[in-house]
Structure 1
């Protein structure tokens, strides 16, 4: 079992999404400071590879810490309709799909 598998199973690592103004950010919380860099790097590698396979355009970002931004969606997460208004249903659907994608990453470790 890899280090990151051990941490996910022991809940010392938590992944989540955060909306930051016009960015949708993939975040990671790592309780133990001794392996943060290694866990972040392993997670980021899987995230970037899987995003590419799923045609999700993301860019790595953030810095090392207990709570870290790992990457963010390159485009605005809000879907705008032809009237230049927020298409709420499409935006919610998009966010739901990204959340499902992120949850699926844990199975890859």
Structure 2
């Protein structure tokens, strides 16, 4: 049973997932701290390039199955037009109510 985005525990993670699923690039950037970084499958990526390709240009969507680490870890079914659907894990570093780093990969 998926967890509704509005019920995610961490407000910064909730804002990130909500903006991602709404394809709202302004809200997504607002959920991130200045200079935020990210990694995919253990390799650091350019955040702007990766989010454009994997989220916004390809209609990315996250359906959260489970939270860990007080809401800063997620297991989700992630889908986009490029890769279809896959089970993914996400971890978030949060400071001052903003995501400073996120890491994702297949679960």
Which TM bucket (shorter chain)? under 0.3
Which structure dedicates a bigger proportion of its chain to helix? 1
Query: If the length of structure 2 is used for normalisation, what is the TM-score?
Result: 0.28
Which structure dedicates a bigger proportion of its chain to strand? 2
Larger gyration radius, structure 1 or structure 2: 1
